[in-house]
Amino acid sequence: MLKRSIKGKLRLYIHPEKVILVSLVNPYLKPKLRSRFMELESLAKTAGCEVIGKIYQIREAPDPKFYIGKGKIYEIKKLIEENGIDAIIFDTSLSGKYHRNLEEELGVKIIDRVELIMDIFAQHARTKEAKIQVELAQLKYRLTQLKGKGKELSRLGGGIGTRGPGEKKLEVDRRRIIERIRVLNKELEKIEIMRRERSKRRRNLIQITLVGYTNAGKSSLMNILTNSQVEVKDALFSTLDTTTRRMKTQFDLPVILTDTVGFIEDLPAELLASFHSTLSCVKEADILIEVVDVSEENFLEKMQIVEETLVSLDAINIPRIFAFNKIDLVLDKNYIKMVSKRFEDSFLISCKTQEGIEELKNFLIQKIHELLKFKFFSFKI
C-alpha cells in the first residue's frame, strides 16, 4: 500500500515496518542498557515491527535539538538509506519539539516509548471499555505532543503510532482531539457506574487479584487456579481487559480470581489514569498474588517497578503472596530459593510443569478460610 512519508515522497509500506531502536543512556545507568534494549525490542516486535538495527549513545544530557548527537544522526541516516527504514523508535518519551526536529531531519516516522506501548494496547484492546481507555490515553498524550507541533501533528502515513483501537486512525487536530476526549470521558463514566454495581454484588466474596510485570505468567496461573481457558500468549500486554473467574476449591468456597493488565517500567501516566477504573480490582482485593518471572536476570528490578505501581494505585498494604514463576527455566535454583526467603509468603512455581502449584493452592485455601472467618465475625458484629 502506498503512503506518503514525512517529506511528501510516496513509499510502499509492507507489514512489518522496518525500525531502528535508539537509546540515550546516562553513564550511571549503563549497566541497565542491555535489559532496556531487550525490552524495547520485545515491545517493537509485539507491535509488529522488524528490528533492523540498534543504536545507543552514552551522554549525561540530551542534545537540545535532536535528543541524540549529530554523529548518531548521521549514523541513523546511513541505516535509513541502506535498509529502507520506516520508523525510528526512541526508548524515552519525546517532546513535540524533538519529534518535529527528528522527523524533518531524518525524513521518517519518529515513535517514542510511550507511543509504542500505547500502540500495543490499541492492537490488543478487545472490549468496549478497553478500547475507550486506550484511545483516551492516546489522545491525551497527543495533546502534549501538539505543544511542539502547532495545531496539527505533522506526522503523515499510517502504521505504528498513528492507529487507535481497531486500526482506527487517530485524530490529529487539536480541536477534534479535545472534543473526542470529552465524548470518551462520558462513555467511561457510564461504564464506571456499572462497574461499581458489580463491585457491590461481590462484597460477600473473597476477591483475589493477580498482579505482576507484563508476560510474567499471570494468565497461565489464572487458568490453573480456576480450571478455565483464558487466552495465554508469549507476548507483552496480551491481557488488557480484566478477567474474573470463580476459583475452584474443594468445598466450593465463595472466591473469585481476577487477572489484570501487566505492569512495565515507565508505564505511561495517561494509560495508568485511563485504566484506573479497570485496575480498581487491585485496590479492592482481599489478597494479591504477585507473579514473578524468575527466569529473567533482572526480575528483582521488575519487582521494584511492580512495587512502585502498587504504591501509585494505593494498594501496597494489601496482603500479598509471591509466586516466583518459570522456575523450570532457572539453572541456579539455590540462588532463587535464597532470594525468595526475603519475601514472606513466597512460593517457587512453574505453571508449565505444575511444580509448586499444590503448595501454593494449599496456602491460598488456608488464607481464604482465615478471611472467611474474619468476614463472618465482622458481619455478626
Output the DSSP codes for 12-31: E--SSEEEEEEEEE-GGGGG
Q: In this structure, which amino acid lies at residue 211?
A: V
The annotation status of 327 as a binding-site residue, yes or no, is: yes
Does the annotation flag 252 for ligand binding?
Answer: no
Which helix (DSSP H) or strand (DSSP E) does residue 326 occupy? none
Check whether 351 is labelled as a binding-site residue.
Answer: yes
Residues 6+ apart with CB under 8 A from 370: none
- Confirm whether residue 326 is marked as ligand binding: yes
* Annotated binding-site residue? 216: yes
DSSP letters along 193-231, please? Answer: HHHHHHHHHTTTSEEEEEEEBTTSSHHHHHHHHHT----
Known binder of ligand: residue 325?
yes
Give yes or no for a cis peptide into 16 (omega within 30° of 0): yes
What b/e string do you get for 204-234 counting C-beta neighbours within 10 Å, with b at 16 or more? Answer: ebbbbbbbbbbbbbbbbbbbbbbebebebee
Give the start-end residues of each E strand in the chain. Answer: 2-4, 10-12, 17-25, 49-58, 87-90, 109-112, 206-212, 243-246, 255-259, 287-293, 320-325, 346-348
- Residues 141 and 268 sit within 8 Å (Cβ to Cβ): yes
Cell of 268: 505511561
Q: Is 213 annotated as a binding residue?
A: yes
Which residue is it, cell 494509560? 271
Residue 368's nearest CA partner among 312, 319, 303, 327 is 319
Please check if 241 is assigned to a binding site: yes
Cα separation values, 102 from 77, 97, 111, 112, 154, Å: 11, 9, 10, 11, 12
Beta strands in 103-154, from DSSP E residues, in sequence order: 109-112
Angle value at C-alpha 123, between 119 and 124, nearest 5 degrees: 115
**Is 137 annotated as contributing to ligand binding?**
no
Is 240 labelled as part of a ligand binding site? Answer: yes
Known binder of ligand: residue 237?
Answer: yes
Cα 42–Cα 293–Cα 350 angle in degrees, nearest 5? 125
Annotated binding site for GTP: 212-219, 237-241, 259-262, 325-328, 350-352
Annotated binding site for Mg(2+): 219, 239
Annotated binding site: 212-219, 237-241, 259-262, 325-328, 350-352
